[in-house]
Structure 1
Amino acid sequence: MNATHTPITAEAVTRVQAHYENVKKLGHWTSDRRFEVRARRGMAVLDLRSPQIPDGDIDVEVDLDHAMVKLLVPQDAHIDHWDLRYTGRGRVKDWTGENGEGRRIRVTGEIRHGEIRVHRGGVATLSAMFSREFVQDVRRARREGTEPTVADPARSS
């Protein structure tokens, strides 16, 4: 067992389902560290950069069938996908491929003809900014006189 590994206790699990649809969870949308993602011919975007997510490992269990999951993570995140099973074509696309010394994100489960895309740092910010949710967040922040949180959740805390 790794010295930096934080055991997962009986915590709440956030479930995300994307069957034939696109689901985006951006900004400060959760404070959980365990996620279950089920997608069939759809796409799910999970923003895991929020400082409201407690310290420790993040577990993402996936069940993908002809689907894609995009993870928005900090630049120094460590993506562990050792326990991920593939049936047919499937892969984890991490353009930089650099696993940093930051928070560990463990991805488990099964991919059937799908993929997981990892966007880090500035690319994650741009990915969040090119969404309807960002425009809605900017309009809300302007009305309320606050800062937008979708582009960079860590900035507003």
Structure 2
Amino acid sequence: MSQAERIHVDHSVTKRLGNWTSADTFEIKARGGGVVVDLRSPGIPAEVEVRVEMQRAMVKLLVPEDATVDQWDLRWSGKGKVKDGQAPAEPGLRRIRLVGTAADSEIRVHRGGVAMVSAMMSREYLDDLRRARKEGRLPVIDDPTRNPFAAPRRQASA
């Protein structure tokens, strides 16, 4: 078991995008703020536990299309819910288990193209694009499964 990634947000927003960790446990403490956590990297194990302690906060999880999000051990007080509009009908290979407490909070699950667009709408993506261009590679924030050193496809001239 690897060490847990700890994220603490108090009335601010933080994002962890791309290939940023290989941990299997994430501890998120958020109060009056927002957290975006990218769990699409191939370096992240198939079984992941996300421990939350939320108060008037929002956590957005970017997950693979076939990931199963288990919210059985999540305790709610006040308003709030897990928004997962694209949940797969069949359980996938990856399992994300949500545990902890959420008071007047919300957890959003973005998959596939929606997760890509969410990652692309960030300052981190622009920085990654600039670094990729300088280094002659492809960006990885939008798709952490992509090989950054694969030859880019050239379009044929007319």
Give TM-score scaled by structure 2 length.
Answer: 0.89
Contact 2:124 2:141 in 1 (8 A): yes
Alignment of 1:107-146 (within 5 A): 107-146=98-137
2:82 aligns to what? 92
Q: Retained in 1: the 8 A contact 2:68–2:87?
A: no
Q: What is the CA distance between 1:147 and its match in structure 2?
A: 1.4
Q: CA–CA distance in 1 between the matches of 2:147 and 2:63?
A: 16
Q: Given that residues 59 and 107 in structure 2 are in contact (C-alpha distance below 8 angstroms), is that contact kept between their aligned partners in structure 1?
A: yes
Q: Which runs of 5+ in 2 are unaligned?
A: 149-158
TM-score by length of 1: 0.90
User: Where do 4+ consecutive residues of structure 1 move more than 6 Å?
Assistant: none
Q: Which amino acid aligns with 1:88?
A: G
Aligned residues: 147
Hey, what's the Cα distance between the residues in 2 that align with 1:23 and 1:126?
A: 17
Specify which of 53, 56, 61 is matched with residue 71 of structure 1. 61
8 Å CA contact 2:30–2:53 kept in 1: the answer is yes
Distance between the aligned counterparts of 1:123 and 1:102, measured in 2?
Answer: 20
**C-alpha RMSD over aligned residues:** 1.1
Work out whether 1:83 is the aligned partner of 2:63: no
Asked whether the equivalents of residues 140 and 146 of structure 2 are also in contact (C-alpha less than 8 Å), the reply is yes
Deviation of 1:156 after TM superposition, in Å, equals: 2.1
Give the Cα–Cα distance (whole angstroms) in 2 for the partners of residues 142 and 52 of structure 1.
24
Larger Rg: 2
- Aligned match for 1:22, one of 13, 37, 56: 13
Q: Report the 3-state secondary structure (helix = DSSP H, G, I; strand = E; otherwise coil) of the residue aligned with 2:133.
A: helix
Find the counterpart in structure 2 of residue 3 from structure 1. none
**Long gaps (5+) in structure 1:** 1-8
Q: Is the 1:148–1:156 contact (alpha carbons within 8 Å) kept by the matching residues of 2?
A: no
Q: Determine the C-alpha separation between the residues in 2 that align with 1:58 and 1:34.
A: 6
Partner of 2:31: 40
- Alignment partner, residue 5 of structure 1: none
